[in-house]
Amino acid sequence: MRYLIIFVLFIAPHANAIVIRHDVDDKEYRELGEQYAASVAYIRGGGCATTLISPEWLLTAAHCVAERERSITKATHLGVEYPIESIIVHPQFDLANDKVHDIALIQLKRPILNGLPAKLYTQKNEQGKSVVFVGSGYFGNGLEGITKRNHEQRGATNTIIGTSEIVIKFKFDAPGEASHLEGISGPGDSGGPAFINIGSQLYVAGVSSYQVVNEFEEAHYGVEENYTRVSTYYPWVEFIINK
């Protein structure tokens, strides 16, 4: 695990598996994750999650795939493997500064026909909106931190507390201030979605990028999470897909 100190801030490694409240039954988080299973896929050998945005395209984090475009060859959706045709990393992404422009696209060789693609969130009004995270990988709770990795898919909720041009931000609130299924991402499954539900339509507003722990410990109550802001990058995404 590597940590970068910036004044009083500690920025944790890239992340996205689900860390939950210590006082809520894990079964509820697993049930929420199952509701969104058709809209996510996982990179085989990459240890990252993706969002299905069309039958042939997946959205993920650039740090998951940069300089590994030849070695990552398959994605898994609902237990079925799909070969990858190409991986396109945002042209301004740089592994030396990998928390900026942290977004990439994966094109599949054959479409996922039983999926539920999410639309790209294009509005700049994300602050205050409720989101759902989905991921599998390292698991824990806000009291104990990371406890295990069991590859079970979970969902969790949170609220966007701030934005910059390139990220949307969340805080892992302790019980009393938190939503019932409050959670954040944790190590092991970056690239996953922050979903916004509007009516019956599912939108992806963010891509899991990194965690800022401040004076707290990683994956504990109080840490802040940053997701790449889809509303900033959707013109690039649409350009690549249409091209």
Quick one: pLDDT at residue 186? 75
pLDDT string in tens for the chain (243-residue length): 333 333 334 455 555 468 999 999 999 999 999 999 999 999 976 679 999 999 999 999 999 999 999 999 999 999 999 999 999 999 999 999 999 999 999 999 999 999 999 999 999 999 999 999 998 878 999 999 998 877 789 999 999 999 999 999 999 999 999 999 999 987 766 999 999 999 999 999 999 999 998 888 889 999 999 999 999 999 999 999 998
> The pTM is what?
0.92
Quick one: pLDDT at residue 239? 98
Residue 97 makes CB contacts below 8 A (sequence gap 6+) with: none
Distance in angstroms (rounded) separating the CA atoms of residues 31 and 46 = 25
Using a 10 angstrom Cβ sphere, with 0-12 exposed, 13-18 middle and 19 or more buried, the burial of residue 139 is buried
User: How far is residue 81 from each of residues 44, 64, 112, 163, measured CA to CA in Å?
Assistant: 8, 18, 10, 35
The answer to whether the Cα torsion of 7, 9, 208, 238 is positive or negative is negative
Helices (H), 66-199: none
Quick one: pLDDT at residue 17? 66
Quick one: pLDDT at residue 5? 33
Express the helix, strand and coil content of the chain in percent, nearest 5 each: 15, 40, 45
**Domain locations in the chain as residue ranges:** 1-243
Domain 1-243 belongs to what topology?
Answer: Thrombin, subunit H (2.40.10)
